[in-house]
Structure 1
């Protein structure tokens, strides 16, 4: 299966999420307004933002499947990241609106006690989203798609939010009607927190940021490759669900071009096998005499 085939497989998960969010948001909003549950209404709006986020992921996956061209020699994989960034702004807007509405309901007078049936609606939604999470998480691991894995984590957070809404509704049945709008505030905070997490990871990737610990792991793998005497420089950046690595290694100056090229091939195979990195650019230099003490592990 090629990389583009894997991205195509990821569309299934996005469609499953969209279908689930469409059905559950309609159910929650209808039941929330009918049974006077602010927490369930907030949860319904949360799912509406998730529809937008899932559509953004789907669009990003579609664009990412376009092959490289003259203007995009590395392909269009960053479309996933841009789509996620747009979704984060939409989610933040809705999250803030949910918080404002919930706070107003507390200060506008004694909150109405929601019908207990709305709690069963929330628990049913939690079970459904839990099933969607399991499906998307397994598919994301199978095809190694970071965008779909992020969507799966969002599915899990939605299941937990629905459980929280149910707790607030049930608590309101025991003489604590304020617990329902309090749960709505908690839902709004979760929406904003999720939006911030997506925004942070997206901007970090778009500005070519890369995790230092992961870079150290890649350096270790390269250093253990037979023939590598020293790593002069290594850089990495995220391109959609892919990682691009540029590394400068120093080898024995007595090696032939063919032998040096074999070391490069070994590095590419090791990074692909151990870290699923398929785009590696290796530059080879002879080890200078004044740096004859190797920094890499002995072979």
Structure 2
């Protein structure tokens, strides 16, 4: 359990890197976008502003999740980051809709950027910078097995694509196609809303104890392969922050003593940790008849 808390502390580094990058890029894009009149670059800068909130939510969630269990939270505070992600998704939805409304209004009177070259190169530079942040957070998320940081990394990658799209839109506007810039801004707004929806969907799925059935079936096969497990009577799992909690009821030979049955549960716990990195498995044992194969041996 201590290693889990240490990993969450390491994950805070990735959140801080994202916050610092988004602060600098948002300020740069909004300033250049206002100066050049680029709707696409301004929308991209506004998107980065919401990403600051999302990264702060990950950071706050990771810090609260590190709090040890107490009288009111016997399982710990691991779901705090999931709640923070849910709040961030609402903020991103609001900003995404605002960007779409502004882009729709710009179609009526499109602005031709007088300094399109500067705006375009700003967008291209931002795309490269945030993609490097994505690579850093991706490696860190895989190393510490953090779902929250992995989600932040995917957000970094989508932002790199958004900035690349803004670059294309601004270049197109400079070529005498002024409607391409607000069109790109509208696409940016749609990407913001889509990212917000994905975060909302995953957060609500976890908070309502949803769990992937395919992964549960793989766990079931692992438990069934443990010697001494005659059958699996019931199994369920849920996500608790970065942890997965598994509850399983297994049937064992009714003639086994307590020590022998306990040995089987320890083997199940060991297999679940080694193959699935699950450290919390609650196992209930019920007596049953041994299979014919086991009786013959």
TM-score range, shorter chain: over 0.9
Partners of 1:81 and 1:55 lie apart in 2 by 13
The superposition leaves residues 26-59 of structure 1 with CA deviations (integer Å, 9 ceiling, x where unpaired) of 0000011111110000000000000000001100
Q: How many residues align?
A: 292
Partners of 2:28 and 2:227 lie apart in 1 by 60
Q: Which residue of structure 1 aligns with residue 111 of structure 2?
A: 111
Answer yes or no: is the 8 Å Cα contact 2:110–2:182 preserved in 1: no
Q: Which residue of structure 2 aligns with residue 24 of structure 1?
A: 25
Deviation at 1:253, TM superposition (A): 1.2
Deviation at 1:288, TM superposition (A): 4.4
Deviation at 1:111, TM superposition (A): 3.0
Deviation at 1:137, TM superposition (A): 0.6
The superposition leaves residues 193-238 of structure 1 with CA deviations (integer Å, 9 ceiling, x where unpaired) of 0000000000010011111111111111111111111000000000
Alignment of 1:207-218 (within 5 A): 207-218=208-219
Q: Which residue of structure 2 aligns with residue 138 of structure 1?
A: 139
Partners of 1:173 and 1:267 lie apart in 2 by 64
Partners of 1:287 and 1:129 lie apart in 2 by 57
Q: Which residue of structure 2 aligns with residue 267 of structure 1?
A: 268
The reply to whether residue 182 of structure 1 matches residue 169 of structure 2 is no
The reply to whether residue 158 of structure 1 matches residue 159 of structure 2 is yes
Partners of 2:134 and 2:113 lie apart in 1 by 31
Q: Which runs of 5 or more residues in structure 2 are unaligned? A: none
The TM-score with structure 1 as length reference comes to 0.95
Q: Which runs of 5 or more residues in structure 1 are unaligned? A: none
What is the aligned-residue RMSD (CA, Å)? Answer: 1.4
The TM-score with structure 2 as length reference comes to 0.96
Deviation at 1:293, TM superposition (A): 6.9
